[in-house]
Amino acid sequence: MNKMLVCILGLFVYSSLSAQSGYSNFATQTNRIQALAKVHPKWVKVKSLTKTNGGKDIWQITIGSGNTETKPAIAVVGGVEGHAPLSTELAIGFAENLLLGITSDSIKNLLNKTTFYIFPNMSPDAMEQYFASLRYERQGNAVSTDDDRDGKNNEDGYDDLDGNGKITWMRVESPVGTHRVHPNDPRVLIRADVSKGEKGNYLLFSEGKDNDKDGTFNEDGEGGVWFNKNLSFKHPSFTQGAGEFPASEKETRALLDELFERFNVYAVVSFSSNNNLSTAYTFNPQTANAPILAGWLQPDTKVNSLVSDIYNKSVALKDAPASAATGGDFLSWGYYHYGRFSFSTPGWWVPKTKPDSTKNEKAFTVEDAAANYLRWAGQQNISNVFTEWKTIQHPDFPDQKVEVGGIDPFVLHTPPYSLVPDLVKKHSSFLVKLAAAQPEVDIINVKTEKLANGLTRITVDVINKGALPSHSKVGERSYWVKRINVKVNNSSTQSIISGKKIQLLNALEGFGSTQLSWLIKGNGKLSIEAGSPTTGSKTIEVTL
């Protein structure tokens, strides 16, 4: 394919992306993914790992040159949480942005050294709810589940009580209420702090009815197992969305099976509410030295800090909300059970706002995510993000005042689509910079010293030319992470008197080195090779 045609086709993909009026549903995602393979067959391979119970493909995009399995790789995973359509836009958008520059030497050189495995959407069943006639934040797939364990499946789902096509909130006036009106924004309810003598005036529920009359609202609706609760590290068994056991779902098993076959993956980057990119993990001796490892090892936290710095300089988002992995999540699985460097970010969050004096706004006396968002949305002239409270007659509260309304679904973690192209560009830049720091093995400073009795001493330095270690420290404990293998290929007439013919190296730090030496008896030439799936390999020839 000539250079001009590549440019034209690349611009076609870019124009198609730019022309979108909003987030892509599954059908549009599929078209965008298939277009990449058609336009760039030399660089892109697309396959379906499996189909969900909802009949949707779990797509994998492989981007690279030649034998992609022999090059160090980064896995990029979107759709980790089904209520976050931005995550899929970031994953697919990265692939599109990367290939827009395929005619440049820098991108060609990158793809000659690095493979990208991109899994754009691990929650397609749930994410379609964003585009449905009834919109609510769903994370579960299409598997039918009995979330309240009463012997019935999906019998208490959401009810659109005000008929506006979206599930918001329901507040019920009550003398034993748990919530009160926010002192700076009457649209918002906040939990009353009893320890401070605060009294609640409302009970707060998600919009709906108690269809199964068990005293709980909307606890067993459509939407079964959550991908980000179905992984094996600290699996939150017997909780909603976790599944009957770790990796119980077809999409979870398919991804894990694929990744375990990819020994060349050295880092996993996912887009979810779990976040160790804007703020890196710190070393905790208690959890890191526990009988069952529950904290990042100290050398790996240093790598996390390095990568976090790259991320913050690339993306420049401030004031990230606090994040804690709660178990069964992909971020934790990637590190503790896959043994790779595992990083995650939401990709966007609502900036902390300052009061606008021209509108007589005052500083918040109580910090609250919804109040902050509504102020930010107002300052940005973003509309249709809040449903005014409306009184309704509710069969479960016949003698109480019930109102439906509040902040709309999705808006707290889904930016206006106008912000997405810039977010894609910045996260693409981060991923390219992360790849530039990947580990790369080399053999340098080769010295030979002729000794008596036909002996030769060979000394070499095996180095890591990359800023990232050859593999994570926790990976040394795992079969699925292959360490650097150094091998002397000698002939039958040559004998290794001292030094090992084959030896494995522990994690070689970024820009680190180790010196090796052998005593060889014989003449002629031999070769020394060093390498691993995550570092590539290097072979040198030595004359005795």
pLDDT tens digits, 395-431: 999 989 999 999 999 999 999 999 999 999 999 999 9
CATH number at residue 321: 3.40.630.10
Of 218-232, 306-320, 452-466, minimum mean pLDDT range:
218-232
Q: Is residue 330 part of a domain?
A: yes
Same-domain check for residues 453 and 516? yes
Closest CA to 503 of 483, 521, 520, 523: 483
CA angle 342, 345, 346 (to 5 degrees): 145
Residues near 285 by Cβ (< 8 Å), separated by ≥ 6? Answer: none
The separation between CA 409 and the C-alpha centre of its own chain, rounded to angstroms, equals 22
Three-state SS at 298: helix
Same-domain check for residues 178 and 321? no
Same-domain check for residues 248 and 273? yes
Half-sphere exposure (Cβ direction) of 275: Cα atoms closer than 13 Å: 18
- % pLDDT > 70, the chain: 94
Same-domain check for residues 234 and 328? yes
pLDDT tens digits, 444-503: 999 999 999 999 999 999 999 999 999 999 999 999 999 999 999 999 999 999 999 999
Distance CA 486, CA 505 (A): 8
In the chain, count of helices (H) and strands (E)? 11, 20
Who wins on pLDDT, 41 or 218?
41
Host domain of residue 288: 3-130+227-349+415-436
Distances (CA, A) of 251 to 80, 143, 233, 424: 11, 11, 17, 25
Residue 322: its H or E element: none
Same-domain check for residues 92 and 193? no
Distance CA 49, CA 77 (A): 13
- Backbone φ/ψ region at 368: left (φ over 0), alpha (ψ -120 to 50), beta: beta
Strand partners, 405: 169
Q: For 192-219, what is the mean pLDDT?
A: 88
Same-domain check for residues 343 and 358? no
Q: Is residue 14 part of a domain?
A: yes
Confidence of residue 20 (pLDDT cuts 50, 70, 90): very low
pLDDT of residue 16: 40
Distance CA 278, CA 335 (A): 17
pLDDT of residue 146: 64
Give yes or no for residue 165 having a pLDDT over 80.
yes
pLDDT of residue 220: 64
Strand partners, 529: 487, 539
pLDDT of residue 1: 37
Radius of gyration in angstroms for the set of CA atoms belonging to the chain, rounded to a whole number: 27
Give yes or no for residue 13 having a pLDDT over 70.
no
Same-domain check for residues 320 and 423? yes
Q: Is residue 135 part of a domain?
A: no
pLDDT tens digits, 366-401: 999 999 999 999 999 999 999 999 999 999 999 899
Give yes or no for residue 271 having a pLDDT over 80.
yes
Token couple for 77: 């995973």
Q: Is residue 160 part of a domain?
A: yes
| C-beta atoms surrounding 152 within 10 Å | 11
pLDDT tens digits, 22-49: 999 999 999 999 999 999 999 999 999 9
Same-domain check for residues 173 and 209? yes
The position carrying tokens 């804690």 is 324
| Burial call 519-538: b when 16+ CB within 10 Å, e when fewer | ebbbeeebebebbbbbbbbb
Same-domain check for residues 215 and 239? no
| C-beta atoms surrounding 232 within 10 Å | 17
3-state secondary structure 299-335: HHHHHHHHHHHHHHHHHCCCCCCCCCCCCCCHHHHHH
Q: Is residue 136 part of a domain?
A: no
Is the sign of the CA dihedral 93, 98, 101, 102 positive or negative? negative
Task: Give the mean pLDDT of the chain.
Answer: 93
pLDDT of residue 155: 65
Q: Is residue 40 part of a domain?
A: yes
pLDDT of residue 5: 34
Q: Is residue 448 part of a domain?
A: yes
Distance CA 23, CA 29 (A): 9
CATH number at residue 446: 2.60.40.10
Same-domain check for residues 327 and 396? no
Closest CA to 414 of 375, 379, 385, 371: 385
Token couple for 55: 């009949």
Same-domain check for residues 55 and 169? no
Confidence of residue 21 (pLDDT cuts 50, 70, 90): low
Same-domain check for residues 93 and 26? yes
Please tell me the pTM assigned to this model.
0.93
Distance CA 28, CA 44 (A): 18
Q: Is residue 138 part of a domain?
A: no
How many folded domains does the chain comprise?
A: 3
Distance CA 357, CA 64 (A): 52
Confidence of residue 140 (pLDDT cuts 50, 70, 90): very high
